[in-house]
Amino acid sequence: MTNAGGVAADQLRAFVERIERLEEEKKSIADDIKDVYAEAKGNGYDVKVMRQIVRMRKQDSNERQEMDALLDLYLNALGMAPSEEQAS
């Protein structure tokens, strides 16, 4: 192991190379995800809504309920909530 200024150069190089490989994999996966969204859009799906669904599915049930309650509260405060007639 080569030490330069108290740093194990070989170990450092190995860490950097691992990070670089993972960054390449991450880019490849991001490109794959982009392709799936493009395919869905080509089949008539709304990609913006799909992205929201993916975000929501990552949340646990309680977190999602809390977010929905806050959204309703804020919409009501801004006069943007649907009226009872429209909701029925």
Same domain for 52 and 77: yes
Residues 51, 33 share a domain: no
Residues 2 and 34 grouped into a single domain: yes
- Same structural domain, 35 and 68: no
Number of helical (H) and strand (E) elements in the chain, helices listed first: 4, 2
Residue 59 pLDDT level (bands cut at 50, 70, 90):
very high
The yes-or-no verdict on residue 86 having pLDDT over 70 is: no
Segment 38-44 mean pLDDT: 98
- C-alpha to C-alpha distance for 42 and 82, rounded to whole angstroms: 31
Give helix 47-58 / helix 9-42 axis angle, nearest 10°.
130
Residue 4 pLDDT greater than 80, yes or no:
no
pLDDT of 87 reads: 53
Is residue 87 in some structural domain? no
Q: Are residues 40 and 27 in the same domain?
A: yes
* Domain annotation covers residue 88: no
**Residues spanned by the domain of 74:** 46-81
pTM for the full predicted model = 0.69
Number of independent structural domains in the chain: 2
Dist CA 66 CA 60 (whole Å) = 10
